[in-house]
A and B are shown apart, each in its own frame.
Chain A
Amino acid sequence: GENVEQHPSTLSVQEGDSAVIKCTYSDSASNYFPWYKQELGKRPQLIIDIRSNVGEKKDQRIAVTLNKTAKHFSLHITETQPEDSAVYFCAAPTRNDYKLSFGAGTTVTVRA
């Protein structure tokens, strides 16, 4: 996306290890940061999101951290499992909040 950069583009981890994906955004007014998971042949689904009034949010094995000063946010997956294998997208809204800009995606492969 034009406003959101996502790294790495591919990530291979051993089952049980952690995975971290990082995104940076350019619009300092952005205040909402969702993460989507897209399994092969399926639609993107929201897995977690964070708003700018908090620095971290957790949901079981996944967590998102936000650094507004540096304008970056990260997805953390702990104790990875084979079902975590998918493409993950981060996103951030533009100034007028009518559009979400998506990162290019990270293909995560969990090796058994």
Chain B
Amino acid sequence: KAGVTQTPRYLIKTRGQQVTLSCSPISGHRSVSWYQQTPGQGLQFLFEYFSETQRNKGNFPGRFSGRQFSNSRSEMNVSTLELGDSALYLCASSLSQATDTQYFGPGTRLTVL
């Protein structure tokens, strides 16, 4: 079974631009969670989607948004990029609940200049 994939793997943007990241979950997994990882900050929860619905959202500004498609693929968008948005963005998929094992993708490394 193929693992979680994320595209692109690397992105360089400038302040004020917007960016869209994509995550394809493991086949059969319907829950997709997104995390921001920065040095010293661990894994900060962004949001979680299940059956095209956002079920939970972390403490991030409205510039961070996401969506999920009927095939469970998910995208996250960051508008009006700031320098502080530079981070590794990880998605993880699971069958349906946070108590199901979460499998992480390789991440997208975003650099904002």
Contacts and interface: CB of A to CB of B under 8 A. Distances in A.
Given A43-B104, A43-B106, A45-B104, A99 B45 contact: yes
Contacts of B48: 98-99
Interface stretch (A63-71, A72-80, A102-110): A102-110
Interface string B14-49: 000000000000000001010100001111110010
A1 B56 CA distance: 15
Contact of A43 (B42, B45, B101, B105): B105
B64 interface: no
B42 A94 contact: no
A21 to B, nearest CB: 13
Contacts of A100: 33, 45, 98, 102
B107 interface: yes
B67 to A, nearest CB: 16
Contacts of A81: none
A91 to B, nearest CB: 8
B9 to A, nearest CB: 11
B99 A105 contact: no
Interface residues of A, number: 25
A46 B98 contact: no
B42 A89 contact: yes
Nearest to B45: A99
Nearest to A4: B42
Which of B42, B45, B97, B101 has the most C-beta atoms of chain A within 10 angstroms of its own C-beta?
B42
B55 interface: yes
A98 B56 contact: yes
Interface in A29-57: 31-32, 34, 36, 42-46, 49, 51
Top 4 closest pairs, chain A to chain B, by CB: A32-B99, A93-B98, A102-B43, A98-B56
25 contacts: A1-B42, A1-B43, A32-B98, A43-B105, A44-B90, A45-B104, A46-B101, A49-B101, A89-B42, A89-B43, A93-B99, A94-B98, A96-B55, A96-B56, A98-B48, A98-B55, A98-B98, A99-B33, A101-B45, A102-B35, A102-B42, A102-B43, A102-B45, A103-B42, A104-B41
